[in-house]
Amino acid sequence: MFNNYKKIVEEILAKANIKINGKRPWDLKVNDERLYQRIFRGGVLPAGEAYMDGWWDCKKIDELVYRLLRSNLIKKVNINSKLLSAVITSRIFNFGAKSKAFEIGKRHYDLGNDLFESMLDKRLVYTCGYWKKAKNLDQAQEAKLDLICKKIGLKRGQKILDIGCGWGSFAKFAAEKYGAKVVGITVSKEQVELGKKLCKGLPVKIHLQDYRDVNGKFDHIVSLGMFEHVGYKNYRTYMQIAARCLKDNGLFLLHTIGGNSSVTQINAWIEKYIFPNGMIPSLKQIGEAVEGFFVLEDLHNFGTDYDQTLMAWYNNFVNNWHKIKNNYDERFYRMWKLYLLGCAGSFRARNIHLWQIVFSKNGIKNGYQSIR
C-alpha cells in the first residue's frame, strides 16, 4: 500500500523537480515510509506535522517550498475534501471576530519574549525589513521604520496611532527620532509589559486593546503586520475605524503581507501552529474595504525583502537556540524552522508579497510624492 502512495507522491513532486531521497539540498529525505499515506490523505497540515514528528527532512526547506509554489502544483493537484471543508467553514465562521481577538496574542506573541529576542533585531521589529541599502538586519529594520516616518511626513509633536504595535519598536523610533507622540495597541500581554519598559520616559502609551475599541483622533495612523489577523469579514470594519480615528489631513500607512488571489480560507498548518485565525488579504479585498473611506496615494511592494528578513530571523533563531532551548522542546524547534523557512520560500516564489500602502482621506492636493 505504501508503495502506491509513494509512487503518487513521487509523480507529484517530480513536477516541481523534487526527488525523494535525492542528493540536492531541496530534495525530500524520508525517515518514515508512512509519510506518503499521511501526506496523500491530508495535504498541508499532516505534511507539516510529519516534519515536526521527524518523518521527513530537507537541507533547504525554503528551496523546497519555493519549487513547490513556482511549479503551481496546487493547480495541478485536485482539491481534496479537507480543503473544501476549510473553505466552507471559513464562510460560516468569522475567524477575526472580536471574541477571538486576543487568541493570537496568547498563542503566538505570548510564547516568550526570550524567543523573539533571540530571533529579531535589537529593536524587536517583527515585520519585514527594508534592505535597499542595508547590510544587516538591524540596519534593514531601522531603514524600514525611517521609511514609514518619511512616507507619512511625520513632524515633531504629531500624534500617531500604531495598530498592532508589538513591543513598541515603531513607537519608540518615532518618538526618539521624530519627536512624535504615539499610542500603540496590541492583543499580547507580553508585548505590552516589555513594550512599556522599552519605551519608558518617552511620549508613548501602549495598551492591551482590540482595534475595534480605539477612540480619539490622530494626525497619522500606521499598522505594521497586523492586518493579516483581521480576517476578510472584518476588513471593511477595520477601515471604517481607521477612517474614524484619522484626522482629515492625515495619512494612514498600511504595512501588510498580501496575496495574488482573494482567499477566505486559512492555511491549515499555519492556523493550527503559528497564526490562529490568520488570513492574507488581496488587493481586491483591500480595495473593496477602503472604498468610500480612503484615497490610495501610494503602493510599494518589496516582498522580496521579506525573504531576506526571514532568512536573517532563521539564522538568529538557529544560532541562539542553545540559549533558550530549555524553555522549548525539539518539536517546537522543528516547527519554528518550518515556519520561518516555509514563509521565506513563499516570498521567494512571489506567491505572497509585502505591501506598504499609503492612504489619505480626501486626496492630497497636487498629489503624493512617493518615497523609496
Q: Please identify every residue annotated as catalytic.
A: 343
- Give residues with Cβ within 8 angstroms of 53, minimum separation 6: 32, 331
Position 115, amino acid: L
Q: What is the distance between the alpha carbons of residues 337 and 355, in angstroms, rounded to a whole number? A: 24
Residue 21 CA to residue 23 CA, distance in Å, equals 7
Type of residue numbered 143: A
Instruction: Tell me the residue type at 297.
Output: E
Please choose, from the candidates 299, 303, 300, 301, the residue with its C-alpha nearest in 3D space to the C-alpha of residue 348.
303
Residue 367: Cβ-neighbour burial (10 angstroms; 0-12, 13-18, 19+): exposed
